[in-house]
Amino acid sequence: SVKYKQGNDYFRHNGAGEMLVFSAADFEDFRQPRPEMAPEMEGELEEVVRVLAENRWPWRLHATYDETISRALDVFEKVDKDIPLDGLNWFFDHAETISDRSIDRIAALGGGIATQHRMAYQGEYFVERYGHGVAEATPPIRRMLDKGVNVSAGTDATRVASYNPWVSLSWMVTGKTIGGLQLYPRANCLDRETALRMWTEKVQWFSNDEGKKGRIETGQFADLIVPNKDYFACAEDEISFLTSELTMVGGKVVYAAGDFASHDENPVPPAMPDWSPVRSFGGYAAWGEPDGAGKNSLRRTAITSCGCTSNCGLHGHDHAGAWTSKLPIADLKGFFGA
């Protein structure tokens, strides 16, 4: 058996989820139609949530679409009438298409939303299926923050996105996919400080570590990094290429490179297996231009790695370029040669 908070500050049990019951799990492949949850979802989910609430265990629930979120909230509100959920720090994972109404309901129950940068990788697929207008606030992080809901950023343990936080920060700040598609208008993008707080200060609520981590100040964990460039001053197209030159966890140096290399007392062993590309080319984005990362944009990599069967005769697999082109299609004579 496992007890809530069993373990230590480095690794411990933090509640239940994200797959509380299979009937409430909506898969998130935007190349496929939205799945409809089974009619038994509410009954099965209520049984589990009641046990968790009675034992004061926080939980996280996978939910991509608002159709799933709203049904889950019906269950949470029902349980809350008998067992108050306030103070449990429960939350939804993902919430790409969440509605304003559902955000308000989460806030009323004292819950939160953990977002990830799925759209940085699947944005083109989403636009292809649902349209660019729908994608402009998917997920609506700006509105979540404005409504005062607890919101964080992360990777979903790399199931949704890469472990590289800089790709997430770039996506939140620029509103672009790694393929270069401009998903969001500037009004829906975040400033660099807010985006960084999503990865640091705002995470503490989700792990029930308020006041213990997320800030560089006396009394909090001595976890920090020194990036190779100034995150607040570098060009936007360089954010995704940033990397750490010094990483400390619990006050100890766990990684060091560049000017700090001499401080690394326990260098990371070579990547396994011995034929791993990381041995030849380095880790994530190590192939990027050290100066002026935009010269070696991730967009070209996305284009060449696309495996879809709907390439364009003109643009090939450069879907971002095709979907953001301002074509004069309203001019029937000029565009179609009539």
Per-residue pLDDT reduced to its tens digit, 220-232: 999 999 999 999 9
**pLDDT by residue (tens digit) across 194-211?**
999 999 999 999 999 999
Average pLDDT over residues 316-333: 58
Residue 31: is its pLDDT beyond 50? yes
Per-residue pLDDT, 328: 52
- For the chain, what are the domain ranges? 6-215
Q: Which CATH superfamily is domain 6-215 in?
A: Metal-dependent hydrolases (3.20.20.140)
Residue 18: cis peptide before it, omega within 30 degrees of 0? yes
Residue 216: is its pLDDT beyond 80? yes
Q: Residue 276: pLDDT band by 50, 70, 90 thresholds? A: confident
- What angle is formed at CA 219 by the lines to CA 85 and CA 198, rounded to 5 degrees? 55
168 CA to centre of own chain: 6
Per-residue pLDDT, 338: 46
- What residues have CB less than 8 Å from 20, skipping those under 6 apart? 45, 48, 49, 59, 61
Average pLDDT over residues 148-176: 92
Rg (CA), the chain: 22
Q: Environment class of residue 143 by beta-carbon count within 10 Å: exposed (0-12), middle (13-18) or buried (19+)?
A: middle
Cα separation, 238 vs 294, whole angstroms: 6
Report the range out of 8-17, 105-114, 150-159, 162-171 with the highest average pLDDT: 105-114
Residue 300: is its pLDDT beyond 90? no
Average pLDDT over residues 50-67: 98
Per-residue pLDDT, 281: 75
Residue 119: is its pLDDT beyond 50? yes
Residue 63: is its pLDDT beyond 80? yes
Cα separation, 235 vs 269, whole angstroms: 33
Average pLDDT over residues 133-154: 97
Mean pLDDT, the chain, rounded, equals 89
Residue 193: is its pLDDT beyond 50? yes
Residue 321: is its pLDDT beyond 60? yes
Length of the chain (residues):
338
Residue 168: is its pLDDT beyond 80? yes
Per-residue pLDDT, 323: 58
- Residue tagged 């004061």 (tokens): 56
